Structure 1
C-alpha cells in the first residue's frame, strides 16, 4: 500500500493512450525510475529510491504489455475493458523505522488482479477521456514461502488529456493524467501494516488490531511525453488517511502527505511491424 506500487510498471503507467496510433509490435530498451515515498502509508519516515530496469513491450491484438502496464482485452467493446492490474511494494526493515522498532520487518509484496475499466466520456477530437477504473488486487508476500497479505480495492476516476500544446488530433505534445479515488482493504491487508500485537506493545505503542474497510483517499497528477524513442514521465500524489479504519493505529504517524517520482525509458530495438494501439 505504498505510494508507488511498483518502481517499474507503476511509475511508468501514468496515462493510457487516447488516440488510436500505430506502434511497433515489440520494443526492447532500458529505463530508470526514481521516487520519494514513506516506508508505508501513514509513516513519517521517507525513503528515496532510484532504480534502473529493462524495458520490454509486446503488443498482441488482445494482450499488450508496455509502459502503460499489462492490458488484456477479453471482450469487444469501445466502452469497457478487462485489464490486468499489477503492482509491488518494497520491504521495510523495522530497525530503520522508529515507529516499528522491535516489530517484524515488512516483506516485499507483489499485487495482481483484474481491473474492469469503463469509458464514461470522450470528446469529439478524441484527445480527452474520462474513465472509471475498478482494480481489485490480491497481495502476496514475495518470500521463499509466499503468503497471502489480503486484498485491496481502489475504484478511481481517471481523466486523460493528450497532446497538450499541439493542434487537435496530434499525437505529439504532453499527456496529462488526473486520478482520484478511495481505497478499501480487507482485515489481513490492513493488519499487515497497522496491527500491533500484544508482544510488540510498549508505553508509546499500545496494542492495536486493525480491521477491514476504508483505507483513505488518493489524488494523483501525472505528466508524460515521447521524444522519438525516449519517453519521460513524472507524477505527484496526495494521500489522505483521515477517516481510515486504521487511522488510530500507533503506527500511523502522518494522516496526509505527498509523494512524487519520475521515469525515463529509451527504446533502442524495435519491430518493423506496426500495430494499432489506443482508441479503446
Structure 2
C-alpha cells in the first residue's frame, strides 16, 4: 500500500506530464542512446549484511501528522530462479518470465500507527502493521544504452494484492488493491556509481481498504468527528523518487522521497482525511558482509 498524497491540480494533467517525463525526457538526457536488450550482470546468488536508516511518513494516507522511525535490520538478498528478495525490489516469487515479461507473486508492507498520537484518530483503534500479497505482471517496455556506458529501463507493472493487517496476535483481511505502476530506472545516472528511479503508481481499492483508514463507526463519533462509511474506488496516486549510491562492492547509501496525491479520491469527505498532498522521506545505508560463491545472471 502506498501512502497517497494530494495536490490541488487535475490528476489527469499531472499523470500525463510525469508519464511523458519517465518515458521520453529521462532516457534522452544523453543524446546518443539506442534501444537494446536488458543488461545482464553476474551477481552472487545471495548476500547477507546489515542496514540502518530513518523514515519520515504520514500516520496514514491523507494525514497531516507524521511519524519518524529509526531502523536497524539484517540485509538479505536472494536471487533465485523462483524466490527473489531485495536487490532494489520487493520480495516476489517468479512463476514465469522472459525478456519481455515477468509473472510473479509480490509482497509489500507498511508500518503501523498509534491513534493516540494522532489528533483526528484519538480514541479510535490503532492502525496495525499492513502487508499485501498478490500477483503481478511486469512488462519490460524499453531498455536503453548510452554513450557514457550507463543504461536504463522502463517497466509497467500490473499489481493486484490482498491487503491484510496484523498486531502480531491475529491477522485481518481488508479487501484488495489494484496498483498499476510505471517505473523508469537509470543505472549510472550522472555518475557510474549512482542509480536513480522514478515511479508513478495510481491505486484503486475495495471498500474495506478505504474503510480501514477512513471509517468512523457510531461508537467513535464526537462533536468534531462525524460518523462516516467509506466507499470503494480511487484511493490516490503515489509518485516516488529514489537514488542509490554504490560506495563500493559491499556498501551503498540510499535516499527516497514518496509523494501521494489524493485529488479526486473517493473518501476525501471523511472526517479523518486532511491533506490532498503528503510527503515522506527515507535515508539509510546497506553493508553487505558475506555473499555466495555461486553466481547468477540478473539485470
Q: TM-score scaled by structure 2?
A: 0.82
Report runs of 4+ in structure 1 exceeding 4 Å deviation: none
Structure 2 CA distance, aligned partners of 1:141 and 1:72? 21
Q: Which runs of 5+ in 2 are unaligned?
A: 5-37
Confirm whether residue 277 of structure 1 aligns to residue 293 of structure 2. no
**1:145 CA drift (Å):** 2.4
**1:160 CA drift (Å):** 1.0
Correspondent of 1:197 among 217, 233, 238: 217
**1:149 CA drift (Å):** 1.5
Report 1:37-116 matches (<5 A). Answer: 37-67=57-87, 68-116=89-137
Correspondent of 2:282 among 261, 264, 267: 261
Equivalent in the alignment of 1:233:
254
RMSD: 1.8
Equivalent in the alignment of 1:151:
176
Contact 1:162 1:174 in 2 (8 A): yes
Correspondent of 1:136 among 160, 172, 189: 160
Structure 1 CA distance, aligned partners of 2:153 and 2:141? 8
SS class of match (2:186): strand
Correspondent of 1:182 among 169, 181, 202: 202
SS class of match (1:207): coil
1:142-181 CA-partner distances (Å, limit 9, x unpaired): 1322110221111111111111235xxxxx4211111113
Equivalent in the alignment of 1:122:
143
SS class of match (1:99): coil
Q: Which runs of 5+ in 1 are unaligned?
A: 5-17, 167-171
**1:63 CA drift (Å):** 2.9
Task: State the number of aligned residues.
Answer: 260
Contact 1:70 1:85 in 2 (8 A): yes
Structure 2 CA distance, aligned partners of 1:136 and 1:44? 28
**1:83 CA drift (Å):** 2.8
